[in-house]
Structure 1
C-alpha cells in the first residue's frame, strides 16, 4: 500500500494523519505543493520532538501543557505520539490522569476542535447516519462514555469526552494500537449537573439525564449502529454510573467483543498489584483478606476478579468471595443490611454492623485495603496505623482518581506506617524519603492493562473479552516487576518502559486468544513476532 498523502498543499498541513510539518523534505515540498508554506530549513522528527519538549518545559501549569499536546494531536499525529512515547512517565499524566480530570471539568471553556463522535439522544433513530459521518473505514476500538461518573468528579456531561480521547491516546502510545483504528465516542443523554446546564458555554444537551427503557434502547441502537459499520470493533465502556455500567456489561459481554475498563481493567491492575506485593509480604493469594473502601462497580469488579484468581489456587469461589470485604458510606456490607444491591450481595458477610473504617480494619484484620471511594483522606492516620499494627508489610492501595480524590498520599502511607506500607495509588505521587530510604510509589493505573488488552484484540481480532483474559493480564504485569523495583517498594513495571511491558502482556493474551479459539485471524505461527509487527510506531514514512 502506498504511503503517498491523499492531500496536497495547504490542505496537507491541516491533515493530522499525513502532516509532517517542518519535517517535509525539500523534495517532498516541491512534489506536494508545499514550497513557500513552511520555513525553508527542514527538521527531523527528533528535532521536532526536542522543540515540543522545550515548549512544554516553559509552561507552568499542567492544563496548559495538556492543551499544547491536544493541539499538536490535532495537527500532527505522528509528532504527538513521538513526543508521548519519548518519555511516557512524564507525558502520560499530562494526556490522562490526573490532568485529564481538570480538562474534563473545563471542557466547555477550553474547547478547541472537535474530535470523535458525539451522539445525542435527540438523534435517536438516526445513529447509523451519524456513525456513517466518521471518515475511517476500519475502526477497531471505541471508547465510549455517557459522562455521568467521570473519574471521581461525577457528572460532567459532554465534558467527559476528554476521557475517551485520553484513553485511546494511551492505547497507541503504550501498546502500539494504530491511532487510525481508534474512535472516541460520547453518548449525550443529558446531565443532572445543574451548574453545567446553566452555563452558557455548555456544549451538551440542556436537559436532565434520560433513564430507564429509553436509555437502554439508545444504548442498543448505538451498539447496532457501530457493529453494522465496524463489525470488527471492540467497545470499551468508560465512566458510566454503577446503575448503568453493570447491566450494560452483563447484556453485551457474552454477545460482542466488549469490556468495561472501570470494572474489569481496574480489577486486573489491582490484582496485579496484589500479586506483585506478595513478593514483598510473602504468603499466597488465597490467604489474603482484602477490605475495600467503596462498594460500587469498581470495588465489586476487583473483588470478583481477585476471588476468581484465588479459586485457581485451590479454594472455592464462595470461600474466596468471603475474603473480599466491602465497606461503603453506610458501613460494612453485611447480610443484615436492607440496602445491599444485587451486585454487592456475593460479598455481604454475616457480621455485626461496623460504621467506622478504622474499626473495621481492627475487627476484620485485612492484609490489604483498597480505596475506590472517590472520597479523599479516608485512609487516615488511624486506619494506616491499624494496618501497620496488624501486618508486618500492610498493602495500602488508594486507587481513587484524580489525585485530589486519593484516599491518602504516598507520604502519609509511608510515614503513618513507619515505612512498612506496600503502596500503590491510582494517580501518580513523587518518590518519598523516610528514615533514610527512598520509596518509589507505584501507580496502579489501568494503563498497564487496557492498552495491552487492546493490542492483543487488534492483532487477533478476538470475538470476545473474557474474565480469564484479565486474570492473565494481571499475572503478566506482576511477572515483570523485578527485584530492583521491589526493593524500592515499586510493585508495577516502571512507566518509562510501558511500551515493552504492554507488548509482553499483549503477547501472553494473544496466545490465550488463539488457544481458546477466540481469534478471527489464522494462527500466525510465531505469535510474539506477529504482535510486535502489528504495533504502531511514530515514524514519518516515505
Structure 2
C-alpha cells in the first residue's frame, strides 16, 4: 500500500486536504498536510474561485489540466458540480486553442504516442501503459483537429479531452481510459519547422504504410484490451471512412465525427419537428459541407427514413449537399466515393440558388468555414419556412457557420438554432432564447457506456439511431419554448444513463451482446458508473 508522498503524488489516490485525520494517520500523511480538514464542497469552491481569477479560457484550461494531473477525484467533482461552466473549458471550444499550443505548454505527459518508428513493436510497448484493464480508447492521428486542420502530435488534446468527458458525463472509470495519438508525421510546415514541436518531424505517412500501421495498432489494442471500445477521432475524411469501413464489422469501434455527430444532429432534427409540426418523413434537409461529419449525418438520416418506411432511394431524395463547388449533382466529376449516393440529377447551382430550388426545411452546416450561413442564406431559409432549422455545427466557436445572435436577428426571431460550440442566451424583442449546443457529448459517452455494459461485439447504425431517439425523447416542452432542441447539459449524467440503457437493451435484442442480460438493464448500467 502506498504511503506518504507516494499517495499525494498519485492522482487517483490523492484527496489533498480532504483526507480525514484517521486517513492521515493510516497513510502516513501527518505533517505532510496543513491542519485543516476541508470538505469536498469547499475544495470545489476553491477551484471555481481560482478559475474566475484567471483572465483567459486557455489559462483556465491549464489550471484544470494541472488539477487532473494532481487530484483526479477533485477534477471530476468540479465538472460534476459545474458542468455547464467547465465543459467549454476542457473541450470545445477551448481545447482547440490548447491543441494549437500543445507543444509550447507541454506539462506532465498525458496519453500514449505511437510513431512509424514503433512499427512491429506496438503490442509490446502498450505494456508500458501502467493500467491493464482498459475499456475505452480514443485515438486520433491529428490530421483534422476540429476545424483547425493538421496539428500532428498536438492533437493529443482531443483524445485526452474526450476521455475526460466519458468519465464526467457517463461515469467511465478514468483508470480504464487510454488516449492515443498515432503520430505519423504532419504536413503542417509551420509545425515541422517549430523547434519546440514535440511530434514526429516528418511529412505524413500515407498509403499502405499508413494503413498497415493502423492495422497493427488495432490488432495490438484488441489483443491487450479485448473488452475495449475504440473511438476514432478527427481523422481526415477519406481515412475516417476507410478506417470505419475496415473495422466496424470486426471490432467494437466507431467514429465519433461520423456517427456521434450524426446521432446528435438527428436528435435535434427530431426535436425541431415538435415545433414545426412537420412529419420527419416530409422534411427536406440540406447540408453545407460534404465531409465525414455531414455525410455521416446523412447516412444515419437515411437509416431513419428507411425505418419510417421509405426505400433507400426515396430517403436519399430528401437529402442534398452543397460543398465549396456548389450543389452535389451527378454531372460533377470531382466527387468522392462517400458523396456519390447523394448526387442528384439536377443542374449545378450555387448555395443560395440551391436553397431556392430545393426548399429545405433544415440546413446543417459542417464546413469548418465560419460565416457561411450569411444573412442572404438565413434570409432565404426564412422566406420559405415559418420556422427554419439552422444547425451551425462546426467547432470551435470561431468556426461556426453563424452565431446564435445572427440566426435570430436575420430570421426575425423565427430560427430554430443549434450549434456545435456553446453560445449564450440571446434576447430578441420580448423573447430570451437559450440555444442548446448540439455537441457530441450528448451521445458518445452514453453509447460507450451502453456498449461496455453489455460487452457489445460491434456498434451498428441501429444503436446510433436508438441513441438519437432517446436523446430527442428527453427534450421537454419548456426546453423547446426557450429555443433549445436538446435537454440541458446539467443533466448530462442522467442523459448518458438513459442512452446507455437504451443502447444496451437494443444490443441485447440484436444478439450483439457478449454479457448475459440482467433483469434490470438500467440498474445494471447505473451500478457501473464511476462517481468521484
TM (norm. structure 2) is 0.99
**Equivalent position of 2:398 in the other structure:** 404
**Equivalent position of 1:36 in the other structure:** 31
Offset of residue 222 of structure 1: 0.2
Offset of residue 11 of structure 1: 1.2
**Equivalent position of 2:466 in the other structure:** 472
Q: Runs in 1 of length 4+ with deviation above 2 angstroms? A: none
Structure 2 spans left out of the alignment, 5+ residues: none
Match of 1:331 among 326, 330, 339: 326
**Equivalent position of 1:414 in the other structure:** 408
Match of 1:381 among 371, 375, 380: 375
Offset of residue 501 of structure 1: 1.2
**Equivalent position of 1:503 in the other structure:** 497
Counterparts of 1:439 and 1:358 in 2: how far apart (Å)? Answer: 26
Offset of residue 122 of structure 1: 1.4
1:284 matched to 2:279? The reply is: yes
Counterparts of 1:154 and 1:408 in 2: how far apart (Å)? Answer: 20
**Equivalent position of 1:390 in the other structure:** 384
Match of 2:315 among 316, 320, 333: 320
1:357 matched to 2:370? The reply is: no
Deviations 1:18-37 (A, max 9, x none): 11111111121122111111
Offset of residue 70 of structure 1: 0.4
Offset of residue 418 of structure 1: 0.3
TM (norm. structure 1) is 0.97
**Equivalent position of 2:57 in the other structure:** 62
1:85 matched to 2:80? The reply is: yes
1:348 matched to 2:348? The reply is: no
**Equivalent position of 1:139 in the other structure:** 134
Offset of residue 277 of structure 1: 0.6
1:106 matched to 2:101? The reply is: yes
- The Cα RMSD (Å) is 0.8
Q: Secondary structure of the equivalent of 1:15?
A: coil
Match of 1:452 among 446, 450, 459: 446
Offset of residue 363 of structure 1: 1.3
1:149 matched to 2:144? The reply is: yes
Counterparts of 1:501 and 1:123 in 2: how far apart (Å)? Answer: 40
Deviations 1:326-380 (A, max 9, x none): 11111111000011111110000000101x2112111110001100010000000
**Equivalent position of 2:200 in the other structure:** 205
Conserved? CA contact 1:119–1:130, under 8 Å: no
**Equivalent position of 1:272 in the other structure:** 267
Offset of residue 123 of structure 1: 1.1
Counterparts of 2:475 and 2:26 in 1: how far apart (Å)? Answer: 50
Offset of residue 115 of structure 1: 1.1
Deviations 1:134-168 (A, max 9, x none): 11111010000000000000000111000000001
Offset of residue 505 of structure 1: 1.1
Deviations 1:394-433 (A, max 9, x none): 0000100000000000000000000110000000001110
Match of 2:159 among 149, 160, 164: 164
Counterparts of 2:69 and 2:491 in 1: how far apart (Å)? Answer: 26
Offset of residue 97 of structure 1: 0.2
Offset of residue 516 of structure 1: 1.6
1:443 matched to 2:437? The reply is: yes
Q: Secondary structure of the equivalent of 1:259?
A: strand
Give aligned pairs, total.
Answer: 532
Q: Secondary structure of the equivalent of 1:411?
A: helix
Conserved? CA contact 1:177–1:458, under 8 Å: no
Counterparts of 2:263 and 2:22 in 1: how far apart (Å)? Answer: 50
Counterparts of 1:371 and 1:206 in 2: how far apart (Å)? Answer: 34
**Equivalent position of 2:510 in the other structure:** 516
Mean Cα deviation higher: 417-426 or 497-506:
497-506
**Equivalent position of 1:462 in the other structure:** 456
Offset of residue 178 of structure 1: 1.2
